[in-house]
Structure 1
Amino acid sequence: MSSATGFAAIDFGTSNSGIALPAGADGVRLVELEPGHPTMPTAVFYQLDERTPQAEPLRLYGRAALAAYVEGHDGRLMRSMKSLLGSSLLEQATDLGGGHSVRYLDVVVGYLRHLKRAAEAAAGAPLPHVVLGRPVFFVDDDPVRDAAAAAALEAAARAAGFADISFQYEPIAAALDHERHVTAEELVLVADIGGGTSDFSIVRVGPERRGRADRRDDILANHGVHVAGTDFDRRVELEALMPLFGYRSLGPSEAGRAPREVPSRIYFDLATWHLINTVYNAGRVAELRRLKSWYGDPVHHRRLLAVVEHHLGHALASDAEHAKIEVAVNGRAEVDLGLVEFGLQTAVDAAQVAAAIEDDLERIVEGSRETLRRAGVAAEAVGTLYFTGGSTGLDALVERIAAAFPAARRVRGDRFASVAQGLGLHARAVFG
């Protein structure tokens, strides 16, 4: 079957996205979304024309979006848009500067349209049909908001130009990718831990089941929690970086009164991607200036004010993300904060990261145990743990999950591409 058969599969991830097209008789291939890269960051930068700010902003995507922000171009960076699905923020507009604004939903539509164009350029043909990946739960413990999130993603895909839309759970897609390599039937626990959600599925896979369009009988259980990589980044930023800016610090001692802790809301907003821009408005900047007397160490207030006045919140969030990744690889990260203050730097080590994300780790591990309970099988019946998603690069996370399944072998899929590949296989079964 050629790649010009009218369908594609899209893994629209919180942190990274990928596209798969059919290839050969029964395979799939990933679209090179950027030179040398089969996946791209889920990021959009609305770049203002510095000479004519009133002109329509230029939209940049993926690594180009991140580079434009790092290089200091005037505009607005958007990341983690998927996490807004099911939120009341989705229909709200956000300021881009220069008198421009955009609805968050339209940001999602624009990004999906960009992916569709890339897929059609690679296929050399229109692609009206698509399989989209989705987490097991967009929203934990709220079926109404979860259904609204799925409906919003479908509406965005239609607005982007897709006519026929099908969904598949992301961990099921990962299981389909793994199934290509198995030679005997087995039960697999798929742990798909990305940027926004940690999803688990227990799936029966095997060579005789491969290629079937309807795999519902092979899915023993699905479960997920809305905790993953972006939450880790937030925790690392708050616990390892924000104390340098006064987070959890105490104000000056006053006669007869115990020192009070400085207000914490601004720190939480600075560590949350879609809220960072809210701390830059004039009212909040003025409020921060008035809080100077709350700080026992005036250096903390000065640094925090510099972050807000110079719009460095996204840079701090990016520093935290890179520190987490470097710690996962090397056990330690040196963080240069010279943009805020000349010579300011700090170090982050594995113990700090582990302590910062401990509560999140426990919630994720409990999610894997709950999946087992819902499947009604013993841990010993699970033959393979299949790990995918960017956050499975953290060995501490993999070890904690594996400890609950001591008899299972561990298999690591492509952290960024296995879901897209599995969605492509499912798309062949549905549309092919």
Structure 2
Amino acid sequence: MSPTLAPVLAIDFGTSNTAAAIMEGGTVHRIPVEAGSDTLPTAVFFPARGGAMRMGEVAARALTGAEEGRYMRALKSVLGTPLMHESRLIAGRRRTLADVIAGFLAELRRRAEVAVGHGFTRVLSGRPVHFHSDPARDAQSEADLRACYHAAGFTEVAFMPEPEAAALACHGMGGAGETGLILDIGGGTSDFSVYRTEGGRVRILASHGIRLGGTDFDAALSLTHAMPLLGHGGQLRREMGPGLLPVPNAIYADLATWAHIPFVYTPENRRLARQMARLAVEPAPLERLVTVLTDELGHDLAFAVERGKIAANGGTGDNIAMGFIEPRLAAPISGPSLRDALQGHGRDLEEAVAETLSRAGVAAEGIGSVVLVGGSSLMGLVTDLAARMMPSARLHRSDAFTAVVDGLALATGEE
């Protein structure tokens, strides 16, 4: 088969989840890249004593099973940043995060090839409308991801904005000639497209995106709800002289950020935490911080915050369980406290939707359908925003985790 006719693998490489699909016989076929699932958590685990990198749910089970090693999640968020190419000692070998992402994509490619029975050298990848607001860093992010695909064995790499792919997959949810809005709220970015269906096809009127997603929601909730129980917002006595000092924020910000957690367990941070516990007006919370750093519990805490967020959003939970740090420790959380913590992010999303409508030249009243895409689109602040801004539009829930990859696969069939 000539290279120009080789099949194209569609990949939605997401901050939280990844999926792959192909077009075959005019139909989208999702590839089971995880046992029994069309999606794969974008997470890896490197065993401390060596061995193959583990991916997805297997990586998470290694972490929760207290196996010694390095767990990483939200890899996509480091694209375009200096972290991407910093060499670090990971499980006995020096690696960059570019190496880690390339390894993840190479294994994804291998699984896809095994599933369909032939090789892939061409890929159509989703990308956010903007990885970063800064154009230079945005361009660097795409260049970084392109290089990772090449390192994973793909010779031809193309990109398509994720909300445009979702529009291809979801336009049938509205009527012919209808104007719709895609709200794609992912793990690390939020993307928006206004589209119109014309003659059975989709025309994109405007797209826009901001660097804000579910991991940012988690960070905000962690800082406002969980981190105060570790001393965030507390006070320290001065070693010399009168007066008090605020507890520094840096360690808490890193512990609340999925991509930074693996790198927070440094001797300097542990030493600083012990010093703060000694000087704290209230020592007990800082002693818990010492425990988190000593026992490397940052990911356990991040998962607990994520579970608390999901439960509070669904009205089924009222706390963030932190008993792995100290018996019976829990941070109260409720629907109202969740909304208060995410209020600023809600305003950012509202401004971005308004900007997208403005670029499309479409009034809010002209939107007939709002299609929710991405795992974080299930948050109440997103559905509330859509109902408030476009009250006459019908709200559709797509397959939150596979709409983008379905659209990418459809796009490969339009060559």
TM-score, structure 2 as length reference: 0.94
Closer, same or farther: CA 161–254 of 1 in aligned 2, 3 Å: closer
Instruction: Give 3-state SS (helix, strand or coil) of 2:236's partner.
Output: coil
Shift of 1:280: 1.2
Matched, 1:59 2:53: yes
Aligned equivalent of 2:118, options 122, 125, 130: 125
What is the Cα deviation at residue 5 of structure 1?
5.8
CA deviation after TM superposition for structure 1 residue 256, in Å: 9.2
Number of the residue aligned with 1:165: 157
Offset, 1:398: 1.4
Contact 1:368 1:401 in 2 (8 A): no
- The residue identity in structure 2 corresponding to 1:47 is P
The one-letter amino acid of 2:319's match is E
CA distance in 2, matches of 1:422, 1:333: 37
Tell me, yes or no, if structure 1 residue 46 matches structure 2 residue 46.
yes
Per the TM alignment, residue 300 of structure 1 is displaced from its structure 2 partner at its CA by 1.0
Distance in 2 between residues matched to 1:244 and 1:295, nearest whole Å: 13
Question: Residue 127 of structure 2 aligns with which residue?
Answer: 134
Q: Which residue of 2 aligns with 1:383?
A: 368
Which residue number corresponds to residue 279 of structure 2?
Answer: 294
Q: Pick from 84, 93, 96: which aligns with 2:78?
A: 84
Q: Structure 2 residue aligned with 1:395, among 380, 385, 394?
A: 380
| Runs of 5+ unmatched residues, structure 1 | 50-55, 211-217
> Would you say the 8 A contact 1:386–1:411 is kept in 2?
yes
Q: Provide Cα deviations, 1:407-431, integer angstroms capped at 9, x if missing partner.
A: 211111011111111111011113x
- Letter of the aligned partner of 1:18 in structure 2? A
Q: Within 2, Cα distance between the matches of 1:399 and 1:356?
A: 15
Q: Does 1:413 align with 2:393?
A: no
Q: Does 1:145 find its partner at 2:101?
A: no
Q: Deviations over 1:97-134 (max 9, x none)?
A: 4x323100011101111111121112111111211000
**Partner Cα distance (1:352, 1:10) in 2:** 36
Q: 1:254: how far off?
A: 10
> Distance between the aligned counterparts of 1:42 and 1:333, measured in 2?
28
User: In structure 1, what is the Cα distance between the partners aligned to 2:84 and 2:240?
Assistant: 48
Q: Trace 1:235-246 onto structure 2 (pairs within 5 A).
A: 235-246=220-231
Query: Quick check: 1:187 aligned with 2:179?
Result: yes
- The C-alpha deviation readout for 1:361-413, integer Å capped at 9, x for no partner, is 11011100000111112222221111100001112221113311122111110
For residue 233 of structure 2, the aligned residue among 235, 239, 248 is 248
1:113 is paired with a residue whose SS is: helix
Q: What is the SS of the residue equivalent to 1:152?
A: helix
Do the aligned residues in 2 keep the contact of 1:332 with 1:350 (CA within 8 Å)? no
Tell me how many residue pairs correspond in the alignment: 411
Do structure 1's residue 355 and structure 2's residue 340 form an aligned pair? yes
Aligned to 1:260: 245
Report SS of the residue matched to 1:300: helix
Q: Distance between the aligned counterparts of 2:242 and 2:48, measured in 1?
A: 49
Q: Is the 8 A contact 2:233 2:247 kept in 1?
A: yes
Question: Are 1:329 and 2:314 matched, yes or no?
Answer: yes
Structure 1 residue 192 displacement after superposition: 0.4
Rounded to whole Å, the distance in 1 between the matches of 2:398 and 2:181 is 13
Gaps of 5+ in 2: none
Query: In structure 2, the residue corresponding to 1:58 is in which secondary structure?
Result: coil
Assess if the C-alpha contact under 8 Å between 1:175 and 1:205 holds in 2: no
Q: How does 1:210-221 map to 2 (within 5 A)?
A: 218-221=203-206
Distance 1:320 1:8, change over 3 A: same
In the alignment, the residues of structure 1 paired with residue 340 and residue 14 of structure 2 have an alpha-carbon distance, to the nearest angstrom, of 26
1:255 deviation in Å? 12
- 1:175 corresponds in structure 2 to 167
Distance 1:105 1:172 in 2: 26
**Percent identical:** 37
Give me the whole-angstrom Cα distance separating, in 1, the residues matched to 2:105 and 2:294. 33
What do you get for the CA RMSD once the two structures are aligned? 1.9
Given that residues 173 and 396 in structure 2 are in contact (C-alpha distance below 8 angstroms), is that contact kept between their aligned partners in structure 1? Answer: no
Provide the rounded CA distance (Å) in 1 between the counterparts of 2:175 and 2:181: 17
Alignment partner for residue 194 of structure 2, among 190, 198, 202? 202
Equivalents in 2 of 1:253, 1:280: separation in Å?
A: 25
Judge conservation of contact 1:28–1:424 (CA < 8 Å) in 2.
Answer: yes
Q: 1:30 is matched with which residue? A: 30
Letter in 2 for 1:85: L
| Distance across 1 between alignment mates of 2:93 and 2:278 | 36
Q: In structure 2, what residue type is equivalent to 1:402?
A: A
Contact residue 274 and residue 287 of structure 2 kept, 8 A: no
Question: How far apart, in 2, do the equivalents of 1:81 and 1:255 lie?
Answer: 43
Shift in Å, 1:205: 2.1
